[in-house]
Structure 1
Amino acid sequence: MVKQSILGRISTLAKANINAMLDKAEDPQKMLDQMVRDYTNNIAEAEAAVAQTIGNLRMMEEDYREDEEAARSWGQKALAASQKADDFRSQGDAANADKFDNLAKVAIERQMDAERQMKTAEPTIASQREIVDRLKSGLDQMKVKRQQLVSKRDELTARARTADAQTKVADAVKSIDIMDPTSEISRYEEKVRREEARVRGQQELAASSLDSQFESLEDLGEQTEVEARLAALKSGGAPAALEAGSDELTLDYSGEQSGTKTGTGTQA
């Protein structure tokens, strides 16, 4: 019963589905660590049980060999005693012949007893050998399964570390991302853009004010000219703009005045 129980546990553990257990685990890495520890302990227990079973088998095999040797030895003794009895009987010594025949019978009985023990032990030994083979096979499967667990744990640990490193790098990059509107660089860039816009506004406003000033100066010059011409008219002089045609006007007026006077004189 104990051997069957051990065999059942080894078989169950060897057939365990790692992926199914991982799917049910909240933390696969911790689950794998625990599974590796459990498998290591189970393998140690299984090895001890298998070693004990193998030890028992070897003891039975030794007993079988001893019985086999005993049967062969008693058979030889029975043959020797029988031959001795025949020798005494051929010599006419019936008493010694009967004595050695009796010894031969005892040896034969011992031989038969050893053979019975051998025959009884044979199925048990065969069964134990089968159990030992199955236990060894299950133990080997457990060791392979444990190695798979270790490899899976190492792979998962490496992937977890890589993911953690990638997360840290992503966080570091995000913290200096100039496109991030919440970053200090983005806020500083926005401040500079506002300052540049303010300066452009001032420049535009200044340019507009300068144009207005020039327009005012042109209006003032025209008004000044009007005032000057008005003052010239009031003083009886020709405006500066009319001075270019003053000689012609003077000549016209002189001819007209001379003709008038001449005509008057003629008439007189």
Structure 2
Amino acid sequence: MAKQSIFGRISTLVRANINALLDSAEDPQKMLDQLVRDYTNSIADAESAIAETIGNLRLLERDHAEDVKAAGEWGNKALAASRKADELRGIGHTTDADKFDNLAKIALQRQISAEGEAKQAEPTIASQTEVVDKLKDGLNGMKVKLEQLKSKRSELLARAKTAEAQSRVHDAVKSIDVLDPTSDLGRFEEKVRRQEAIAQGKQEIAASSLDMQFNELEDMGELTEVEARLAALKQGGQSAITE
């Protein structure tokens, strides 16, 4: 019963603390550190409760030992008084012998009483010894779990740091991934491509304008040649009329 009450109370406390920590967890390291502290404090509470239980058992054991010792001492006194009575009766001192026999009877009564108390305490001592042994085992189990918790804490923190580092590396790689249109470099490349397209467009416009100018010159050349030939025809015609 003592085992259940001690570890039941501690188990309830630990579960409540764990649930509270999980509900409010923001920083994994702070949560795990607090969990280790709470479990350590729970072990300290268990040690205190177990120490009290062990103390009560030791008191029972000392009382039992004293009863056993007293029973032995009263038995010796009864034997001594009985022998003295026999000795006195042997020399004819009957009255004194009866007195020592009465003392022997009183001593035997005290012996029986002490033996009864010792025997009555034995089942309680046996059950309390079993409880204490289980409490010690349970406490040792808690200490083992504490070491496991500390080890798990270190493992989880290492994994959390690794995950955080991997996330930072992923973000860094993403920021320079030219294939990622959402990255800074991708956006800059898109801007350059647009600028290049605009420059190419301007070049094409300029080239188109130059071609048109040359075409106009060619057209003007053709017109000039036509005018020259027309003038030559006219001059040739007049020469023929004059002749």
Q: How many angstroms apart in 1 are the aligned matches of 2:196 and 2:42?
A: 75
Larger Rg: 1
> Normalized against structure 2, the TM-score is what?
0.69
The residue aligned with 1:166 is 166
Structure 1 residues 46-57: aligned runs within 5 Å: 46-57=46-57
RMSD of equivalent CA atoms: 4.0
Q: How many angstroms apart in 2 are the aligned matches of 1:21 and 1:226?
A: 103
Question: Which ranges of structure 2 fall in alignment gaps of 5 or more residues?
Answer: 237-243
- Per-residue CA deviations over 1:42-91 (Å, capped at 9, x if unaligned) read 22122111101101111110111111111112112211221222122222
Q: How many angstroms apart in 1 are the aligned matches of 2:199 and 2:21?
A: 64
- State the identity as a percent: 58
The residue aligned with 1:76 is 76
Q: How many angstroms apart in 2 are the aligned matches of 1:79 and 1:227?
A: 171
Would you say 1:7 and 2:29 are equivalent positions? no
Corresponding pairs, count: 233
The residue aligned with 1:108 is 108
C-alpha change, 1:211 and 1:175, in structure 2 (3 Å) is closer
Q: How many angstroms apart in 1 are the aligned matches of 2:195 and 2:119?
A: 109
* Counterpart amino acid of residue 25 in structure 1: D
Q: How many angstroms apart in 2 are the aligned matches of 1:147 and 1:25?
A: 24
Contact in 1 for aligned 2:81/2:101 (Cα 8 Å): yes
Of 156-165 and 173-182, more deviation after overlay is shown by: 173-182
Contact in 2 for aligned 1:7/1:135 (Cα 8 Å): no
Highest RCO, 1 vs 2 (Cα 8 Å, sep ≥ 6)? 1
Q: SS of the residue aligned with 2:81?
A: helix
Q: SS of the residue aligned with 1:92?
A: coil
Q: How many angstroms apart in 1 are the aligned matches of 2:96 and 2:48?
A: 57
Query: 1:167: how far off?
Result: 2.0
C-alpha change, 1:55 and 1:200, in structure 2 (3 Å) is same
The residue aligned with 1:61 is 61
Would you say 1:96 and 2:93 are equivalent positions? no
Query: 1:232: how far off?
Result: 11
Query: 1:195: how far off?
Result: 5.7
Structure 1 residues 1-268: aligned runs within 5 Å: 4=2, 7-11=4-8, 13-14=10-11, 21=19, 25=23, 27=25, 29=28, 32-178=32-178, 179-183=180-184, 185-194=185-194
Q: How many angstroms apart in 2 are the aligned matches of 1:141 and 1:21?
A: 22
Q: How many angstroms apart in 2 are the aligned matches of 1:9 and 1:155?
A: 30
Contact in 1 for aligned 2:84/2:97 (Cα 8 Å): yes
* Counterpart amino acid of residue 75 in structure 1: G
Contact in 1 for aligned 2:181/2:187 (Cα 8 Å): no
C-alpha change, 1:187 and 1:124, in structure 2 (3 Å) is closer
Q: How many angstroms apart in 2 are the aligned matches of 1:112 and 1:55?
A: 28
C-alpha change, 1:177 and 1:119, in structure 2 (3 Å) is same
Query: 1:24: how far off?
Result: 6.4
Query: 1:114: how far off?
Result: 0.9
